[in-house]
Chains A and B, each alone.
Chain A
């Protein structure tokens, strides 16, 4: 009997077209646009000026607080300007534009493809290196990793959980990484374990990736304390709280972080980035992005430098004529792009091209008949049909009582709703209202 989480969950079609395609390296773009805010927390402060020459891996914006992350140049060249540039939702956000000249890396970065295992560093030194390298959660949430590793006083972690679930349909970037960089991920996990001071690490992978499970199991047999678990396929198993429930059967109390139950969750992509940062001195300047879609013949995975325009990726695979919507991220949690000219950021896990009939919401939205499907689908045990009403009527305090802030915006409710109600849209709006109320209360 395979493990999984208990409450709710849905089964969207997997559509993992690019699972068999090895990661290709995308040619360097002419110009990169690197936003200074690619993570949750305070935007970084630019430390370069117009006309400066930069190398790959050089810090161009410094972290401006504890919950913030360094930003590094992903190319070598000249800083063109620091301007407000379009982000994925159409707002202008500050970004550093660099024109590409050659591909020169900082000399201290080790670019040889030889597995390195050096565990001599202390926990503090590892966390400092991760902080320095600007690593954020690469599953898509982009929470700065060093914050998660700095366990608050009075709390203790006893297990590290590595998220290789990739429960979003279409996306295969983590899957390919697990197949191609198994050893590196293992070393990364050991480093994370040392940073946290835990003896045990569990890797959770959904059962629809048997090759990745077999590969990591075989690699894990060479290292102490790492177990690989196959999990039943169910969305959203990649949610932190769901994964903890599935793997170690502990329930994170409402409004708390996983550290409350002694667990810390990191993505496999993050583990790989940690390996590169600590062993090879390589900061986070590139990531794997899946480019896929139903009408795309050659859906594939690219290793992309941060700041490359998404249009470059799409041009490489050729955009099908019928495409009417481009989604940044997975189909369940991703956001539609306003323009393909926005850059790839640290959180871009996939680019999905949707044809017209898949991209539109039905015009007619019948009323809610209280069928309760959303309630049984919600993995957090909330009542979406109630929350949408409260949000539409702006009943902020009641929403707080109904634990709206527990919602992780997985979209299961909208997915199952037979009336196609915009449940998640209004819940998300309600969350911002409740957040604003709580902030106002603290003042």
Chain B
């Protein structure tokens, strides 16, 4: 057994390695694809959750679009918010356009107390599937089914079904307004709305398009389309269409007059301080207790 075999083998493989490396080097030079280095930089400042909330396939897709766009005002990462926009714009040396933060709101208050069950659903636990079969297990064909498609689709653990009401509740701190739940909801109940100053917001928590009588019969807290809120609103922020009121969040000045006049209580106010009379009521009950 001579060492020559080992020597030849090593020599042979080394030569082959060097030769292939040289070929690969020239091929790589020849077919090199130029990629803007700023894309990597922009991607680095993005949240990296690939939720698709911006409308592009993942954060890389958004970064490419962001770098190639002439006008960056239409591009916005809802998850990162304004901080991310500023950071990404600085990479390009541009000025970011600030956008008001948004949040998902669930426009249905039909808990079992308000909305009696008319049947028992016994099929697979999927809202999309249930909608294809029938209108829902209550009298309201527009309302929440409570089977949790929105919960399953949320990447941020920001929406949960409340066990008492059977309705989804959005976690204000976790919701990034990516919009995944909105596309998942087959009844189109969830909507993206402005988060408002200190989270204060007012919205009609109902999507029932039935006539007043029919709607009221199926759910106590349904919007009956009476139009009182439209008259009460000093800012013309409320429109009534198909027996359903809708508050335009760009026009709404959060005066809460509509909440006061709503006969069914279908307009919700969130994160407001208690009203005067209500504060007194609470105090009184505390005293009596």
Contact = CB atoms under 8 A, between A and B. Distances in A.
Interface of A: 89-92, 335-336, 338-339, 359-361, 422, 425-426, 428-429, 432
Contact of A361 (B119, B122, B134, B136): B122
A389 to B, nearest CB: 13
Given A90-B141, A91-B141, A92-B141, A422 B132 contact: no
A336 B135 CA distance: 12
In order of increasing CB-CB distance, the 10 nearest A-B pairs are: A90-B135, A89-B134, A422-B124, A91-B135, A90-B134, A361-B122, A429-B132, A429-B129, A338-B119, A91-B141
Interface in B125-149: 128-129, 132-136, 141
Interface of B: 118-119, 122-124, 128-129, 132-136, 141, 210
Given A338-B134, A432-B132, A92 B118 contact: no
A93 B135 CA distance: 12
Given A91-B135, A429-B129, A429-B132, 6 more contacts: A92-B210, A335-B134, A336-B119, A336-B134, A339-B119, A425-B133
B125 to A, nearest CB: 10
Given A90-B141, A338-B118, A361-B122, A425 B135 contact: no
A426 B130 CA distance: 10
A90 B136 contact: yes
14 contacts: A91-B134, A91-B141, A92-B210, A336-B119, A336-B134, A338-B135, A339-B118, A359-B122, A360-B122, A361-B123, A425-B123, A425-B124, A426-B129, A429-B128
Name the residue among B132, B136, B210 with the largest chain A CB count within 10 angstroms: B132
Contacts of A338: 118-119, 134-135
A174 B118 CA distance: 33
B251 to A, nearest CB: 31
A347 B136 CA distance: 22
Contact of A426 (B124, B135, B136): B124
Contacts of B141: 90-92
Contacts of B133: 89, 335, 425
A425 B133 CA distance: 8
A52 to B, nearest CB: 23
Contacts of A428: 132
B211 to A, nearest CB: 9
A90 B122 CA distance: 16
A1 B210 CA distance: 58
Contacts of B136: 90
B55 to A, nearest CB: 18
B243 to A, nearest CB: 12
A360 B135 CA distance: 19
A422 to B, nearest CB: 4
Contacts of A422: 123-124, 129
B263 to A, nearest CB: 23
A14 B119 CA distance: 28
A57 B260 CA distance: 54
Nearest to B128: A429
Nearest to A365: B124
Contacts of A359: 122
A89 B118 CA distance: 12
A4 to B, nearest CB: 31
A341 to B, nearest CB: 11
B253 to A, nearest CB: 36
A425 B135 CA distance: 15
Contacts of A361: 122-123
Contacts of B122: 359-361
